[in-house]
């Protein structure tokens, strides 16, 4: 359906209303004018018919042909008279016409007339009376008058009213179009602003002018946008601390409820080597800054490969792949992320107080976990639990800084672009039988290139983010 601006709706509506009003007024005016004209015509007809009746008395009594001359002379002298009918004393009728067809639709009956001139019940304007002499009826006469004068008067009225109507409707249409334009402009701005908000722009604010319903709508719209911006800000802030799925459900679902379930995932753990000595040798701010710089890069790498940072545990980070975002290649992506974390850590080149480089041990494990809300009623955490998580955490204790350790079953799910350097069977706490574990390496050129790209991108984004934070702090200060 084509879009029709509201100003055209109003212009057409007001124009149609005015046109209807003019037509109604035209009908009323024509009716009033016709009644006035008929009254005037009746007064003139009385005079004319009475005069003709008086002139015909003697010729009717004498039965002479003079009556024809009187009637024809009357027809010639009075331009509005179209026809005359006489009823003679013998009961016969004589009809006289100014021209052919001027008798009207039908000729009147003259039997029941009295001495007062009255209009006869016909469509045409016939007026008649009885002719008497010495109180005795000697005949009757009826005169038909023309409608032409009324037609001319009505035509003049219609023409003048039509001209006035065109001028009034045109002026009203221009005025209404202008007023409707002024009224619709804020609505158009409101619709445009609403579209921007729908596209995610929460900086839109409307100018509030006047003190009417439109200005009230603009104020309410601005308040709504501010509330949406606040909600989006809260969503972003909560997204830093909570699982994205929980944040989405909280803001988008009217019935927020997360059910526990089992899920096949890959779990990644990375913890700092020698964190206790490191934290004791530096100021608190320096420790936090070092951890945050590493975790910022790690987070971007994990995000690049489709994983989700489940939690930070002191100097360690735990990430989950294939939850909450489904990823059929989650084991491969987790392996690349693990190798990229160690490579990024080496690229950061941050040193410990003893001069040794800061390094992280990374552990991987793939398997089934329980996904759900864990904790007390007053404080819940949406996370993953199970042997798969425990084994991934235990893997970090089997390697050195810069190494990625994983069980043989997890490595078996990777494509040939990786190598497994076995460290033998290891007894894992909480696991009934020993597991063969080993170090993970990337040997395929495409895999190595992809890891290098992820590391470079994460470092660039982290540097940009750090610069933005520093500028914001400077402006705030």
Cα–Cα distance for residue pair 126/123, rounded to 1 Å: 8
- Report how far apart, in Å, the C-alpha atoms of 167 and of each of 163, 180, 472 are: 6, 20, 64
Per-residue pLDDT, 243? 54
74-83, 93-102, 333-342, 464-473: segment of lowest average pLDDT? 464-473
**Whether residue 400 has pLDDT greater than 80:** yes
Which pLDDT tens digit goes with each residue over 240-253? 555 555 555 555 65
- Whether the model clears a pTM of 0.75, i.e. scores above it, the answer is no
**Whether residue 328 has pLDDT greater than 80:** yes
Average pLDDT of the chain is: 86
When comparing pLDDT for 268 and 217, which is higher? 268
Cα–Cα distance for residue pair 427/95, rounded to 1 Å: 139
**Whether residue 389 has pLDDT greater than 90:** yes
Per-residue pLDDT, 184? 73
Q: Residue 257: which residues within 8 A CB-CB, separation 6 or more?
A: 249
Q: Which CATH number fits domain 6-151: 3.30.70.2660, 3.30.70.3290, 3.40.50.10380, 3.30.450.20?
A: 3.30.450.20
**Whether residue 236 has pLDDT greater than 80:** no
Per-residue pLDDT, 195? 87
In the predicted model, what is the mean pLDDT of residues 434-453? Answer: 94
Per-residue pLDDT, 369? 94
Per-residue pLDDT, 468? 57
What tokens appear for 18 in the block? Answer: 């005015």
How many other C-beta atoms are found inside a 10 Å radius of the C-beta of residue 337? 27
Antiparallel, parallel or unpaired: β 93-97 and 81-87: antiparallel
Q: SS3 for 316?
A: strand
* 67 φ, ψ (degrees, to nearest 5): -60, -35
**Whether residue 114 has pLDDT greater than 70:** yes
* 70 φ, ψ (degrees, to nearest 5): -65, -45
Say what angle helices 284-304 and 330-348 make with each other, to 10 degrees. 140
- Report how far apart, in Å, the C-alpha atoms of 325 and of each of 244, 306, 312, 322 are: 9, 7, 19, 5
Say if CB 246 and CB 382 are below 8 A apart.
yes
**Whether residue 4 has pLDDT greater than 80:** no
How many other C-beta atoms are found inside a 10 Å radius of the C-beta of residue 157? 15
What tokens appear for 54 in the block? Answer: 């008086």
Which pLDDT tens digit goes with each residue over 32-59? 999 999 999 999 999 999 999 999 998 8
Q: SS3 for 373?
A: strand
Per-residue pLDDT, 473? 45
Among 384, 348, 391, which residue's Cα sits nearest to residue 369?
384
Antiparallel, parallel or unpaired: β 81-87 and 379-385: unpaired
Q: What is the Cα 288 distance to its own chain's centre?
A: 48
In the predicted model, what is the mean pLDDT of residues 331-348? Answer: 94
Query: In which band, very low, low, confident or very high, does the pLDDT at 101 lie, cut at 50, 70 and 90?
Result: low
Greatest mean pLDDT range, 63-67, 125-129, 177-181, 469-473? 125-129
Cα–Cα distance for residue pair 240/246, rounded to 1 Å: 12
Start and end residues for every CATH 3.30.70.1230 domain found in the chain: 261-476
DSSP 243: -
First to last CA, the chain: 56
**Whether residue 477 has pLDDT greater than 50:** no
Among 260, 262, 223, 360, which residue's Cα sits nearest to residue 302?
360
Say if CB 336 and CB 268 are below 8 A apart.
no
**Whether residue 344 has pLDDT greater than 60:** yes
- C-alpha angle 362-366-371 in degrees, rounded to nearest 5: 105
Which pLDDT tens digit goes with each residue over 133-157? 888 999 999 999 998 888 898 899 8
Query: In which band, very low, low, confident or very high, does the pLDDT at 259 lie, cut at 50, 70 and 90?
Result: low
Per-residue pLDDT, 308? 92
When comparing pLDDT for 227 and 210, which is higher? 227
Per-residue pLDDT, 475? 45
When comparing pLDDT for 205 and 364, which is higher? 364
Q: Residue 457: which residues within 8 A CB-CB, separation 6 or more?
A: 300, 304
Q: SS3 for 3?
A: coil
Element (H, E) at 361: strand 360-376
pLDDT over 90 percentage in the chain: 42
27-41, 204-218, 235-249: segment of lowest average pLDDT? 235-249
Start and end residues for every CATH 3.30.450.20 domain found in the chain: 6-151
pLDDT over 70 percentage in the chain: 89
In the predicted model, what is the mean pLDDT of residues 212-219? Answer: 80
CATH superfamily of 261-476: Nucleotide cyclase, GGDEF domain (3.30.70.1230)
110-119, 217-226, 354-363, 430-439: segment of lowest average pLDDT? 217-226
Query: In which band, very low, low, confident or very high, does the pLDDT at 232 lie, cut at 50, 70 and 90?
Result: confident
**Whether residue 396 has pLDDT greater than 90:** yes
Antiparallel, parallel or unpaired: β 125-133 and 316-321: unpaired
């Amino acid at each position: 359906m084509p879009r029709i601006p509201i100003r055209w709706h109003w212009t057409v509506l007001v124009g149609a209303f005015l046109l209807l009003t003019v037509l109604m007024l035209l009908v009323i005016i024509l009716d009033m004018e016709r009644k006035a004209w008929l009254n005037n015509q009746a007064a003139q007809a009385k005079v004319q018919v009475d005069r003709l009746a008086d002139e015909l008395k003697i010729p009717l009594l004498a039965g002479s042909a003079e009556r024809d001359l009187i009637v024809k002379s009357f027809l010639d002298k009075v331009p509005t008279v179209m026809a005359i009918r006489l009823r003679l004393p013998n009961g016969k009728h004589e009809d006289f016409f100014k021209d052919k067809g001027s008798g009207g639709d039908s000729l009147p009956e003259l039997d029941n007339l009295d001495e007062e001139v009255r209009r006869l019940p016909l469509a045409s304007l016939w007026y008649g009376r009885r002719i008497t002499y010495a109180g005795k009826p000697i005949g009757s006469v009826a005169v038909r008058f023309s409608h032409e004068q009324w037609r001319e008067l009505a035509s003049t009225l219609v023409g003048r009213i039509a001209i006035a109507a065109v001028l009034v409707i045109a002026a009203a249409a221009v005025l209404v179009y202008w007023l409707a334009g002024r009224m619709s402009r804020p609505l158009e701005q409101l619709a445009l602003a609403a579209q921007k908000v729908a596209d995610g722009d929460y900086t839109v604010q409307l100018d509030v002018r006047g003190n009417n319903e439109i200005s009230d709508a603009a104020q309410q719209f601005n308040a709504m946008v501010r509330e949406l911006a606040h909600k989006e800000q809260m969503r972003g802030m909560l997204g830093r601390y909570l699982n994205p799925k929980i944040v989405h459900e909280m803001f988008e679902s009217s019935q927020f409820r997360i059910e526990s379930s089992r899920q096949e995932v890959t779990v990644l753990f990375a913890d700092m080597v020698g964190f206790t000595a490191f934290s004791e040798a530096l100021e608190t701010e320096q420790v936090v800054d070092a951890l945050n710089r590493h975790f910022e890069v790690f987070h971007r790498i994990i995000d690049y490969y489709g994983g989700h940072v489940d939690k930070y545990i002191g100097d360690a980070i735990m990430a989950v792949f294939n939850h909450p975002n489904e990823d059929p290649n989650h084991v491969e992506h987790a392996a690349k992320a693990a190798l990229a974390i160690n490579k990024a850590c080496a690229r950061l080149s941050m040193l410990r107080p003893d001069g040794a480089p800061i390094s992280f041990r990374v552990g991987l494990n793939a398997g089934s976990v329980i996904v759900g809300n864990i904790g007390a009623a007053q404080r819940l955490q949406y996370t993953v639990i199970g042997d798969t998580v425990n084994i991934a955490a235990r893997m970090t204790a089997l390697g050195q800084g810069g190494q990625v350790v994983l069980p043989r079953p997890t490595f078996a799910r990777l494509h040939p672009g990786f190598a497994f350097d076995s460290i033998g069977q290891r007894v894992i706490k909480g696991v009934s039988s020993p597991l063969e574990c080993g170090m993970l390496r990337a040997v395929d050129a495409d895999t190595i290139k992809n890891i290098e790209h992820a590391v470079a991108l994460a470092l660039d984004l982290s540097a940009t983010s750090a610069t933005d934070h520093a500028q914001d702090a400077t402006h705030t200060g």
